[in-house]
Structure 1
Amino acid sequence: IFAHVLEQHWEWKNFQISLIKRRTMKVHNVTNDAVDLLEFRDRVIKASLNFGFLVVSTCLQCYVFSTKNWNTPLIFDLKEGTVSLILQAERHFLLVDGGGLYLYSYEGRLISSPKYPGMRTDILNSQTVSLSNDTLAVKDKADEKVIYIFDALSGKPLGDGKPLTHKTEIVEIALDQKGLTSERKIAFIDKNRDLFITSVKRFGKEQKIVKIGTMVQSLAWNDTSNILCGIQDSKFTVWYYPNTVYVDKDLLPKTLYEKDASEFSKASEVVSFVGNHITIRRADGSLLHLHISPYPAILHGYSGSSRWEDGLRLCRFVQDQTLWACLAAMAVANQDMTTAEIAYAAIGEIDKVQYINSIKDLPSKESRLAHVLLFSGNTQEAETLLLQSGLIYQAIQINIQLYNWER
């Protein structure tokens, strides 16, 4: 028996696409009610719509449509016609078939084809593979505690070539989509349903894998800013600035948005997180749409371009504690202590305001930097920095304050 699934739907921003026949798709632009029909030579096997592009694979060819122009797709031939997964990032997309992983640009050029030992592509799905502009992460099937991380452009393993290893089996992985390559983060859920976050770049030193949530069923990163959302036991949670765990751990609970999730069934999953619009599929297949505040995404934009004055203006306008907490963490991460001081004062963290004031009075740049590291809890790095700068007295002073007499 051969069967074809019809009436599949894909949605992105103002476009809704449905597969109406085996070889025909209907594109509906909801803003102006325009309808386009896309005809294909062979039957449609897989499709994906994201980042302004529709990627469709038939049994012989791959079609790439831009949402700006539906009339002239880019078409290239496929080696194998059994595409089992299409993943998109802003600059390129990944095709997975029986032969391997292939990364293509939206112009149809093959960029790379990453490989790892014992690769089985038939069992890869969107929960075990994740793609961003510069990084590709794949969960190993043979050893479920291991995640292989590749440079997307060269297809080679990142850093020292060692995969990321966790202590228990991993269920789902996701890479953030925005920001610098050096700050790329990966979030993953393990078998105990705990949510962890860690940095992808590792140079010799072990990056801390930090737990930021428990009983998480499903997660997704935002497509335009590094905001993470997930379904926790009985609530829907948004981590407006997950990087807070590396800056000031106590601040993390203040940067969360939580909503009662009793209307979701047990096995709900996050389908997409575009702009401030989240789509969740319940166990019975019905879709739920949620909206979150647009302000944290705007704040991420300001922080990325170091427009701290605008960030302060936004926080004063919105008057929301969560937003102030995000601004405080972003400012410390970017070592803008003046903004951090104002933001901490706004959320009533007086002890931190005093500490930041004492940092500003320090004489040398190195000691200021070391105390910022110390503020974020990176005692080892702070000490190394002071010793390299020859500030041995201050390094001893730090260890005395930490009651670290052995050092």
Structure 2
Amino acid sequence: KVSLAYDHLVVATSLQCYVYNSRNWNTPLIFDLKEGTVSLILQAEKYILLVDGSGLYTFSYDGRLISSPKFPGMRADLLNAQSVSLSNDTVAIRDQNEEKVILFFDIMSGKSVGDGKPVTHKLEVVEIALDQCGPSSERKIAFIDKNRDLYLTSVRHLRKEPKVCKIGSMVHSMAWNDSANILCGIQDHQFTVWYDPGVVFTDKELLPKILYIKDGSEFSRAPHILSYVGTKVTLRQGDGSLVYSSVPAYPAILHEYSAAARWEDALHLCRFAKDRCLWACLAGMAMANRELSTAEMAYAALGELPRVQYINFIREQPSRESSLAHMLMFSGQIQEAESTLLQAGLIYQAIQMNIDLFNWERALELAVKHKTHVDTVLAYREKFLQKFGRKETNKRFLQYSEGVEVDWEKIQAKIEMELCKEREKAANNPVRSSVAARR
């Protein structure tokens, strides 16, 4: 078996493994193999993964054995490039007994990642691929299921149910870029590149805007992507021949600027390239990094006025916690936003957030539970119903409206007092986030 990637050539013979560095082809590093019959070699920037008849092993490029991940019922002889994926910190394996399950292992320890809970999909998974860049806390995995739908989810999800987002359909093959978190795939006879697939977790409305699509007529039937290095994608066609396709270089540069927090350079690049896809990528990256000024300019370039207005609203929030909660809400993480406000003791803000979302019952529940702003909820509810010419039918609202007087002047005064208290609390807090500081 032979594998060439990340400036290293790895050759496995029946007894030994040879690791050649591209800077010195004359003297390979050699280490012995236990089993000998290596069936699969995968490479990441820092590690090698070898699969033989007895198990799965990760090595560093200096030949040091790092770990040997195992799980009950593992059959190493059935593992292949579609069911195993490697990154600098994680090994992902599709369970052979239950093909809906994807298991994650830490490279250094060989143990399950986080709380050990795997990702369980609703259908059988046919191909998996870990992204190669960024910190381990932001590691993501793309996978294709039996219906040929492409999904993206986080590897480390901190005791929460992982959010699994569909980003494509009719996808037959995929690969991550080696130096940026850019994903390419063969999608319904087209060659598609997702410049920043992670944007689906920040603003899913941007997803269609970050696609680069090429006609697949230049490829023969059933091409399979072998690698995506730099700006070059290597594909193997149905007849076994290799073909190459190029991808614009700007998105990778934008990822580099984002990772280094060089937002001014990122803006200059987008203005120079004059590509709406890049602006959409920058908007998603900036929001993910809570860089509101850059996000505002990117959304403005896309003509997304409502989002520009909402970003300004976020910046005007009286405290760091409120800003953070509204950013979570912007990304569709409603429960996390509410939890952030409640943990900070901002009960009114949590109630108002539910009112703004027309989540009336939850707003009333919070108001009753914390014995505050019940009249605020009832007032906004009444205003809402009057606007649509409807009468109250909800028993809980009818029950509380009998004993609570709605006085808009008192309500407005109470709201203003809450906001003043929040501003004072934020002003007295010496630790201020960049979000709050940029208000």
Does structure 1 residue 393 correspond to structure 2 residue 348?
yes
| Equivalent in the alignment of 2:393 | none
Report the CA distance between 1:168 and its aligned residue. Answer: 0.4
Q: Does 1:226 align with 2:181?
A: yes
Q: Which residue of 1 aligns with 2:205?
A: 250
Give the C-alpha shift of residue 274 in structure 1.
Answer: 0.0
Structure-2 separation of matches of 1:302 and 1:245: 20
Shift of 1:265: 3.2
- Residue of structure 2 equivalent to 1:355: 310
| From 96, 103, 121, the counterpart of 1:148 | 103
User: Which of the residues 255, 259, 282 maps onto 1:300?
Assistant: 255
2:19–2:61 contact (8 Å) kept in structure 1? yes
Q: What SS does the aligned partner of 1:354 have?
A: helix
Tell me which residue corresponds to 1:5: none
Number of the residue aligned with 1:402: 357
> What is the distance in 2 between the residues matched to 1:351 and 1:139?
41
Asked if residue 52 in structure 1 is aligned to residue 7 in structure 2, the reply is: yes
Which of the numbers 118, 122, 144 marks the counterpart of 2:73?
A: 118
Q: Contact 2:119/2:162 (CA < 8 Å) preserved in 1? A: no
Q: CA deviation at 1:359?
A: 1.2
Partner of 1:136: 91
> Aligned partners of 1:381 and 1:164: how far apart in 2?
20
SS for the counterpart of 1:262 is helix
**How far apart, in 1, do the equivalents of 2:190 and 2:296 lie?**
32
1:6-45 equivalent positions in 2, closer than 5 A: none
Listed one character per residue, the Cα deviations across residues 227-286 of structure 1 (whole Å, up to 9, x for unaligned) are 000000121110000011000011110011011112323321101100011011111111
Residues 50-129 of structure 1: pairs in structure 2 closer than 5 A: 50-129=5-84
* Equivalent AA in structure 1 for residue 153 of structure 2: T
> Is this contact kept in 2: 1:254–1:321, CA < 8 A?
yes
**Equivalence for 2:239:** 284
Compute the displacement of 1:308 (Å). 0.3
Structure 2 residue matching 1:102: 3-state secondary structure: strand
Q: Find out whether 1:212 has 2:171 as its counterpart.
A: no
Residue deviations 1:278-337 (CA, integer Å, cap 9, x gap): 011111111111111100000000000111001001111111110011000000000000
State the TM-score, normalized to the length of structure 2: 0.82
Query: Could you tell me how far 1:363 is from its partner in structure 2?
Result: 1.3
Q: In the alignment, is residue 332 of structure 1 matched against residue 332 of structure 2?
A: no
Q: Which amino acid aligns with 2:218?
A: E
CA contact (8 A) 1:160 1:202 kept: no
Are the counterparts in 1 of residues 59 and 66 from structure 2 also a CA contact under 8 Å?
yes
Structure 1 residues 4-53: Cα deviation after superposition (integer angstroms, max 9, x where no partner): xxxxxxxxxxxxxxxxxxxxxxxxxxxxxxxxxxxxxxxxxx11000010
The CA distance in 1 between the partners of 2:68 and 2:4, in whole Å, is 22
TM-score of the pair, normalised by structure 1:
0.88
Give the distance between the partners of 1:98 and 1:142, measured in 2 at CA. 17
Which runs of at least 4 in structure 1 moved beyond 3 Å after TM superposition? none
For 2:281, give the aligned amino acid.
C
Determine helix, strand or coil for the equivalent of 2:218.
Answer: coil
Aligned to 2:136: 181
The correspondence of residues 253-272 of structure 1 with structure 2, limited to 5 A, is 253-272=208-227
One of 195, 201, 205 as aligned partner of 2:156:
201
- Provide the C-alpha distance between the structure 2 equivalents of 1:311 and 1:73, rounded to a whole number of angstroms: 40
Contact in 2 for aligned 1:47/1:56 (Cα 8 Å): yes
Q: Secondary structure at the match of 2:361?
A: coil
Q: Judge which range, 188-197 or 200-209, deviates more.
A: 200-209
Distance in 1, Cα, partners of 2:308 & 2:221: 43
Deviation, structure 1 residue 157? 0.5
- Paired with 1:373 and 1:83, the residues of 2 have a C-alpha distance of 46
* Distance (whole Å) between structure 2 residues aligned to residue 203 and residue 337 of structure 1: 25
Aligned to 2:195: 240
User: Any idea what the Cα deviations from partners look like across 1:81-135, whole Å, max 9, x if unmatched?
Assistant: 1000010000010110001001111010000001001010111111110000000
Structure 1 residue 59, shift from structure 2 partner? 0.8
Check the 8 A contact 2:287/2:295 in 1, yes or no: yes
CA distance in 1, matches of 2:274, 2:203: 21
CA contact (8 A) 1:86 1:94 kept: yes
Following the alignment from structure 1 to structure 2, what is the Cα–Cα distance between the partners of residues 203 and 343?
A: 30
Paired AA for residue 322 in structure 2 = S
Write 1 or 2 for the structure with the bigger share of helix: 2
Which residue of structure 2 lines up, in the alignment, with residue 368 of structure 1? 323
CA distance in 2, matches of 1:206, 1:323: 31
How many residue pairs were aligned? Answer: 362
CA contact under 8 A between 1:235 and 1:261: conserved in structure 2? yes
Query: Could you tell me which amino acid in structure 2 is paired with residue 335 of structure 1?
Result: R
What is the rounded CA distance, in whole Å, between the counterparts of 1:378 and 1:175 in structure 2? 24
Q: 1:112·1:154 contact (CA, 8 Å) conserved in 2?
A: yes
Contact 2:209 / 2:280 at 8 angstroms: preserved in 1? Answer: yes
CA distance in 1, matches of 2:77, 2:188: 31
**Percentage of identical aligned residues:** 66
RMSD between aligned alpha carbons? 0.8
Q: 1:377 aligns with which of 324, 329, 332?
A: 332
Greater strand content: 1
Q: Report what 1:309 is aligned to.
A: 264
